[in-house]
Amino acid sequence: MTQTDAAASPLWPSADYFEQVARLREAIGQPIHILELEASDTHLSARHLGKPYVLLDLLAFPRPDPGRGLAPHFLLLDDGRGVNLGRIARISLERPFNPAPSQILYQDHEAVECLLLRDRQLSKRLIAARSRQIVGQILGKTTEQPMLEQTTPDTDGESDTLDPPQH
- 138-164: average pLDDT: 52
Maximum mean pLDDT: which of 100-104, 136-140, 161-165: 100-104
69 sits in the region (left: phi over 0; alpha: psi -120 to 50; else beta) called left
User: How far apart are the C-alpha atoms of 66 and 112, rounded to whole Å?
Assistant: 17
Name the DSSP letter for residue 127.
H
Gyration radius of the chain's alpha carbons: 22
Instruction: Give the E-state strand segments of 62-164 in sequence order.
Output: 73-77, 82-84, 88-92, 104-107, 151-153, 159-161
Beta carbons within 8 Å of 128's beta carbon, 6+ residues apart: 152
* Residue 63 φ/ψ region, left for φ over 0, alpha for ψ in the -120 to 50 degree band, beta for the rest: beta
pLDDT per position as a tens digit, 33-46: 998 888 777 776 77
Beta strands in the chain (DSSP E): 31-39, 44-48, 53-60, 73-77, 82-84, 88-92, 104-107, 151-153, 159-161
pTM of the predicted model as reported, rounded to 2 decimal places: 0.61
The answer, yes or no, to whether residue 150 has pLDDT greater than 50, is: no
Of 19-28, 35-44, 103-112, 136-145, minimum mean pLDDT range = 136-145
Which residues, in sequence order, are CB contacts of 160 under 8 Å at separation 6+?
Answer: 125, 151, 152, 153, 154
Q: Is 77 helix (H, G, I), strand (E, B) or coil?
A: strand
From first CA to last CA, the distance across the chain in angstroms is: 60
- Tens-digit pLDDT profile for residues 61-104: 988 888 777 889 999 999 999 999 988 989 999 888 888 999 99
Residues 36-57 have a mean pLDDT of 83
Q: Where does the pLDDT of residue 10 fall: very low under 50, low under 70, confident under 90, or very high at 90 and above?
A: low
3-state secondary structure of 102: helix
